[in-house]
Amino acid sequence: MVFGLRRSLMSIEEFPCLLPSTRGRRSGVRVIHAITHAEFGTLAERVGESGAAFLRESGFRGQVGELGLVPGKGGVAAAVLGVQAGADPFQFGTLAKDLPPGAWKIALPEGIAPDIAVLGFCLGAYHMPAFGRAARPERDIARLIVPAGGAAGAEVAQAIRLGRDLINAPPNLMGPAELAEAARTLLEPLGARVEIVKGRKLARAYPTVAHVGAGSERAPKVVIARWQGSRAGAKAPVLSLVGKGVCFDTGGYDIKPAAGMLRMKKDMGGAAIMLALARLVMVRDLPIRLELRLGCVENSISGTAMRPSDVVVTRSGQTVEIGNTDAEGRLVLCDLLTEASETDPDLLIDAATLTGAARVALGPDLPALFSNDDEVAQAILDAGTSCGDPLWRLPLWDDYASWLRSPVADLNNVAAKPMAGALTAALFLKKFIKTGVRWAHIDVYAWNDHYRSGRPEGGEIPVLRAVYASLLRTLHARDST
Could you give the residue range(s) of every CATH 3.40.220.10 domain in the chain? Answer: 5-149
Q: What is the pLDDT of residue 25?
A: 55
pLDDT tens, 419-461? 999 999 999 999 999 999 999 999 999 999 999 999 999 999 9
Q: Exposure of 92 by Cβ count < 10 A (0-12 exposed, 13-18 middle, 19+ buried)?
A: buried
Least confident stretch, 124-128, 368-372, 396-400, 444-448: 124-128
CATH class of this structure's domain 170-480: alpha beta
* Contacts for 193-199: CB closer than 8 Å, 24+ residues apart: 193/225, 193/226, 193/227, 194/223, 194/224, 194/225, 195/223, 195/224, 195/225, 196/221, 196/222, 196/223, 197/221, 197/222, 197/223, 197/224, 198/222
Q: What is the pLDDT of residue 320?
A: 98
Asked if residue 133 lies in contact with residue 426, where contact means CB atoms within 8 angstroms, the answer is no
Q: What's phi and psi for 467, nearest 5 deg?
A: -65, -40
SS3 427: helix
Residue 407 DSSP one-character state:
S
Asked if residue 47 lies in contact with residue 55, where contact means CB atoms within 8 angstroms, the answer is yes
Closest CA to 228 of 192, 267, 203, 252: 192
Cα 245 from chain centroid (whole Å): 13
Q: What separation in angstroms does the CA of 389 have from each of 90, 151, 384, 392, 469? A: 10, 20, 5, 11, 10
Asked if residue 323 lies in contact with residue 413, where contact means CB atoms within 8 angstroms, the answer is yes
pLDDT at 3 over 70: no
Catalytic residues: 256, 330
pTM of this prediction?
A: 0.95
Closest CA to 244 of 202, 295, 203, 180: 295
Q: Concatenate the DSSP letters of all residues of 191-209 into one string.
A: T-EEEEE-HHHHHHH-HHH
Instruction: Please give the average per-residue pLDDT across 81-93, as a whole number.
Output: 97
Helices (H), 101-175: 114-125, 151-168
Instruction: Please give the average per-residue pLDDT across 85-114, as a whole number.
Output: 96
Q: What is the pLDDT of residue 74?
A: 84
Q: What is the pLDDT of residue 8?
A: 62
- Contact residues for 79 (Cβ-Cβ < 8 A; gap 6+): 30, 31, 32, 33, 67, 68, 69, 70, 95, 99, 104
Could you give the residue range(s) of every CATH 3.40.630.10 domain in the chain? Answer: 170-480
Report which secondary-structure segment, H or E, holds 210: helix 207-213
Q: What is the pLDDT of residue 6?
A: 63
Confidence label for 480 from pLDDT (cuts 50, 70 and 90): confident
In one-letter notation, the amino acid at residue 294 is L
Confidence label for 371 from pLDDT (cuts 50, 70 and 90): very high
pLDDT tens, 246-303? 999 999 999 999 999 999 999 999 999 999 999 999 999 999 999 999 999 999 999 9
Confidence label for 10 from pLDDT (cuts 50, 70 and 90): low
Confidence label for 15 from pLDDT (cuts 50, 70 and 90): confident
Pairing verdict, β 458-459 and 447-448: antiparallel
Q: Among residues of the chain, what percentage have pLDDT more than 70?
A: 94
Least confident stretch, 126-135, 362-371, 404-413: 126-135
- In the chain, DSSP finds a helix count (H) and a strand count (E) of 15, 19
Asked if residue 389 lies in contact with residue 454, where contact means CB atoms within 8 angstroms, the answer is no
Mean of all residue pLDDT scores within the chain: 94
Confidence label for 24 from pLDDT (cuts 50, 70 and 90): very low
Least confident stretch, 8-22, 162-176, 310-324, 393-407: 8-22
CATH entry, 5-149, from 3.40.50.720, 1.10.10.10, 3.40.50.1820, 3.40.220.10: 3.40.220.10
Q: What's phi and psi for 161, nearest 5 deg?
A: -60, -45
